[in-house]
Structure 1
Amino acid sequence: MGTKGKIIKCKAAIAWEANKPLSIEEVEVAPPKDHEVRIQIIATALCHSDAHILHPQFEGGFFPVILGHEGAGIVESVGPGVTNFKPGDKVIPLGVPQCGKCKFCLSPRTNLCGKLKNFKNPLSDQKLMEDGTSRFTCKGKPIYHFMGTSTFSQYTVVSDVNLAKLEDDANLERVCLLGCGFSTGYGAVINNAKVTPGSTCAIFGLGGVGLSAVMGCKASGASRIIAIDINSEKFTKAKALGATDCLNPKDLDKPIQEVIVEMTNGGVDFAFECAGGAKIMRAALDSVTVGWGVCTIIAVNVNDSGLNVSAMELLMGRTLTGTSFGGWKSVTSVPKLAADYKNKKLDLDALVSHTLPFDKVNEAFDLMYQGKSIRTVLLF
């Protein structure tokens, strides 16, 4: 008996309220509607963006919700109007859609898409499907989606413009990282900042995104890559991936930006803020040289107070910019990144510090909160 057109009962991790562990529950996943695809998730990784929703101070929080946005799986069935996918296809759900028709998708200047409605807070966008309803039910209650993906469920339903098709031999336990972390950090360097050969770079924060930025700087031919983190245990991995210098602000007797400016004769050419928070954003901007220095903001903190920047700082030639999903056009770019991993051009393996069964999702959160993991992959 096939499952097409039928409700599927499966396990999922539900966040019923803020600041509480996720609860493994049996959920009902409805069949896909027009231009929707139902996917069996095989592997999903954990990202700090999943944790933001659980923070009691997160603005625009919504519960109950099935989190998760770094996943990979296999198409179970497709809804009416879907032409690019078929059952059995290996795929990656995408939090950043690519409809291919809006003014953003038609422009080479951005990877955003008009399907996103809330550009001020994309984490609270795509919490329902296009028709304004959910495909998840638990204990008789509808459950919100997250970023249009909800990969913390054994089966999920996504829009066909939020989906990248992979080759049949794709390693789902690794390419799931392309759903957010690796693509964001690596792409920020390659697509947004456009790091040049021989340049100097500083990367603030050495989680999965920051280490991916280290890889991007090395691939771009940077001559000096300064990696910064308050956890010195991350330095061995950073150096293995291309960092030339590692600094722990806790070990210094002056602000980190002053140390970097002294080390680089006036500041680095490129800085990447991968940790979140106004203090770190300030340090990253202050660490770039006048004249042409580029500071790229990648991470955010919940309810952060923001960064105060004077006009004079920018008039002196510094550029402050940001990135969403590393500037990649999601649907068309992710399959190419997956192929690069298969051809050993990208090292996703280095980012996976733990692999756990899905039922241990709360243990994965604890590892992340304690700074003991880079990326934990959960397997169904």
Structure 2
Amino acid sequence: MGTKGKVIKCKAAVAWETGKPLCIEEVEVAPPKAHEVRVQIIATALCHTDAHPINPKFKDGLLPVILGHEGAGIVESVGPGVTNFKPGDKVIPLYMPQCRKCKFCLSPLTNFCTKLSLDKNPLIDQELMQDKTSRFTCKGKPIYHFMGTSTFAQYTVVSDINLAKIDDDANLERVCLFGCGFSTGYGAAINTAKVTPGSTCAVFGLGGVGLSAIMGCKVAGASRIIAIDINSEKFTKAKALGATDCLNPRNLDKPIQEVIIEMTGGGVDFALDCAGGPETMRAALDSTTAGWGSCTFIGVDSEMRGLMISPVELIMGRTVNGTCFGGWKSIDSIPKLVTDYKKKKIDLDILVTHTLPFDKINEAFELMNQGKSIRIVLTF
């Protein structure tokens, strides 16, 4: 007996309240409705973004919720009107939709789509399906979706504009990283900052996003890439991926931006902040050269509410920009990145420090929060 059109009971990690571990529960996953796809998740990675809604200081999230937004899986069934997917297809759910019809999707200037509420935090958008209902139920209660993906479930339901079909021979335990971390950092350097050949770069924060940004800087032809983190144990991977210099602010006798300015004779051409705290964002901007320095903000702390920037800094020729999902038009770009990985143009293996069974998800969060991992992949 097939499962098409039927409710599926499966395992999921449910966040019932903030400040508490996730609970492995049996959930009911409803069949997909029009223009929806039900996906069996095979592998999902952890991202710091997944920790925000369960942080007691984060006030905007809706609970209970099934988190997760960096996964890969196989199509189980499709709803009415779905023409681009069929059962058995390998896919990557995407928090950045691409309808290919709105003014944003039709513009080469952005990767946004009007299906993503542009006046809301992406962390709390797409908490329900398009008809404003959930496909998840647990203990008789509806459970919110997360970022349109909810990959911390053995089965999930996503809109067909939040899904990329990938090659049948793709390694799902690696390409799941394209759902957020790698794509965001790599694309920030290539698509948003537009790092140029021969330029100097500074990358702040060497998690999965930061290391991916280093890869992007190298591919773009940067001649000098300065990697910054308060954990010196990350420097080996940074150098292996292309960093030419590594700095730990805690080991310096002056502010990191002053050191970078001295090292580069006035500041770097491109600074990319992947940490998101106010101190690193400030340091990243300060480390850019006058005249043409570009600072790209990639990570944002869940408690971040603002950053003071003097108009004089901009008048002196510096530019500030931000990126979401690395500037990639999601459905169009992800299959191409998967192909590049298969051709060994992209190294995802170096980013994965742990592979654990899904039941150990709370242990994985501990490793991530303690800075003992880069990317942890959970498998069902």
TM-score by structure 2 length? 0.99
Partner amino acid, structure 2, of 1:83: T
- Equivalent residue for 1:19? 19
Gaps of 5+ in 2: none
- Equivalent residue for 2:90? 90
- For residues 201 and 193 of structure 1, the distance between their equivalents in structure 2, rounded to whole angstroms, comes to 10
Matched, 1:318 2:309: no
Give how far 1:120 is off.
3.7
- Equivalent residue for 2:186? 186
- Equivalent residue for 2:258? 258
Give how far 1:305 is off.
3.5
Determine what percentage of the aligned residue pairs are the same residue.
Answer: 79
* Alignment of structure 1 residues 295-374 onto 2, 5 Å: 295-374=295-374
Partner amino acid, structure 2, of 1:314: L
- For residues 163 and 272 of structure 2, the distance between their equivalents in structure 1, rounded to whole angstroms, comes to 28
- For residues 118 and 106 of structure 1, the distance between their equivalents in structure 2, rounded to whole angstroms, comes to 16
- Equivalent residue for 1:223? 223
Partner amino acid, structure 2, of 1:325: F
CA deviations over 1:245-304 (Å, ceiling 9, x no partner): 000000000000000000000000000000011111000000000000000000011121
- For residues 305 and 323 of structure 1, the distance between their equivalents in structure 2, rounded to whole angstroms, comes to 17
Matched, 1:59 2:52: no
Partner amino acid, structure 2, of 1:367: L
Q: Where do 4+ consecutive residues of structure 1 move more than 6 Å?
A: none
- Equivalent residue for 2:48? 48
- Equivalent residue for 2:142? 142
- For residues 77 and 107 of structure 2, the distance between their equivalents in structure 1, rounded to whole angstroms, comes to 32
Q: Secondary structure at the match of 1:212?
A: helix
Contact (CA 8 Å) 1:118, 1:125: kept in 2 or not?
Answer: no
Q: Secondary structure at the match of 1:76?
A: strand
Q: Secondary structure at the match of 1:26?
A: strand
- For residues 243 and 260 of structure 1, the distance between their equivalents in structure 2, rounded to whole angstroms, comes to 14
- Equivalent residue for 1:133? 133
Contact (CA 8 Å) 1:269, 1:292: kept in 2 or not?
Answer: yes
CA deviations over 1:16-74 (Å, ceiling 9, x no partner): 01111000000000000000000000000000110011111213111000000000000
Contact (CA 8 Å) 1:278, 1:305: kept in 2 or not?
Answer: no
- For residues 20 and 283 of structure 1, the distance between their equivalents in structure 2, rounded to whole angstroms, comes to 33
Partner amino acid, structure 1, of 2:71: G
Give how far 1:167 is off.
0.8
* Alignment of structure 1 residues 261-280 onto 2, 5 Å: 261-280=261-280
Q: Secondary structure at the match of 2:188?
A: helix
Contact (CA 8 Å) 1:105, 1:111: kept in 2 or not?
Answer: yes
Partner amino acid, structure 1, of 2:162: N
Give how far 1:119 is off.
3.6
Partner amino acid, structure 1, of 2:4: K
- For residues 190 and 46 of structure 2, the distance between their equivalents in structure 1, rounded to whole angstroms, comes to 24
CA deviations over 1:168-195 (Å, ceiling 9, x no partner): 1011000000000000000000000110
